[in-house]
């Protein structure tokens, strides 16, 4: 769907959870699309890997409902539908101005193309991709040093 704003068409993507209680509109282009193979996301999401679509918070508008949130790793907040449990997104205190949304939340997930693999070394043994995208052994986005990475925070033994 394209919205006309003063003659310039702005990309608008929509998303909703499985039960429909939560819906959102995302305006403009995402700045980052990444496949994540880390064990934390795998357990939180319930799938073999996760694909996150990164937007600026100002680009994301919840048009129906309010996601519930959960934090296990200090500084990382995951959001989901409180009724049906659909994973919606996550934010990280070390990633100011970045809001990641789950690919499955989008009404048209086929419109997004991954740009890299994160935590490639934690992939399941039968995961194989024919792409030539970067395969990084850790995070694909640099964290604010003042906050460190989620792994740093877990090692520090901080409790949420
Ligand atoms: Zn729902």
- 93-105 pLDDT, tens digit per residue, is 999 999 999 999 9
The residue ranges of every structural domain in the chain are 2-123
The pLDDT assigned to 47 comes to 94
- 125-157 pLDDT, tens digit per residue, is 999 999 999 999 878 887 777 777 777 777 776
1 vs 58 pLDDT, higher one: 58
Q: What are phi and psi of 110, to 5 degrees?
A: -70, -10
Distance from the alpha carbon of residue 80 to the mean position of ligand 1, in angstroms: 8
- Is residue 76's pLDDT more than 90? yes
Question: Mean pLDDT, to the nearest integer, of 115-119?
Answer: 96
**Residues within 5 A (CB) of ion ligand 1:** 17, 19, 21, 81, 83-84
How far apart, in whole angstroms, are the C-alpha atoms of residue 43 and residue 29?
28
If one counts every other C-beta atom within 10 angstroms of the C-beta of residue 25, the result is 16
- 4-54 pLDDT, tens digit per residue, is 556 679 999 999 999 999 999 999 999 999 999 999 999 999 999 999 999
Distance from the alpha carbon of residue 123 to the mean position of ligand 1, in angstroms: 28
Distance from the alpha carbon of residue 17 to the mean position of ligand 1, in angstroms: 5
**So what CATH class is 2-123?**
mainly beta
Distance from the alpha carbon of residue 101 to the mean position of ligand 1, in angstroms: 15
């Amino acid at each position: 769907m394209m919205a006309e704003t003063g003659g310039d068409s702005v990309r608008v993507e929509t998303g909703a959870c499985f039960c429909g209680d939560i819906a959102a509109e995302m305006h403009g282009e995402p700045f980052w699309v990444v496949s994540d193979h880390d064990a934390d996301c795998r357990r939180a999401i319930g799938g073999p890997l996760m694909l996150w679509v990164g937007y600026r918070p100002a680009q994301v508008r919840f048009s129906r409902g309010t996601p519930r949130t959960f934090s296990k790793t200090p500084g990382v907040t995951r959001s989901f539908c409180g009724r049906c449990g659909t994973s919606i997104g996550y934010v990280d205190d070390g990633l100011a101005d970045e809001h990641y949304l789950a690919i499955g939340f989008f009404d048209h997930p086929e419109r997004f193309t991954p740009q890299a693999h994160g935590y490639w070394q934690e992939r399941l043994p039968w995961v194989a991709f024919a792409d030539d995208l970067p395969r990084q052994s850790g995070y694909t986005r640099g964290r604010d040093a003042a906050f460190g990475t989620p792994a740093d925070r877990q090692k520090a033994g901080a409790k949420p």
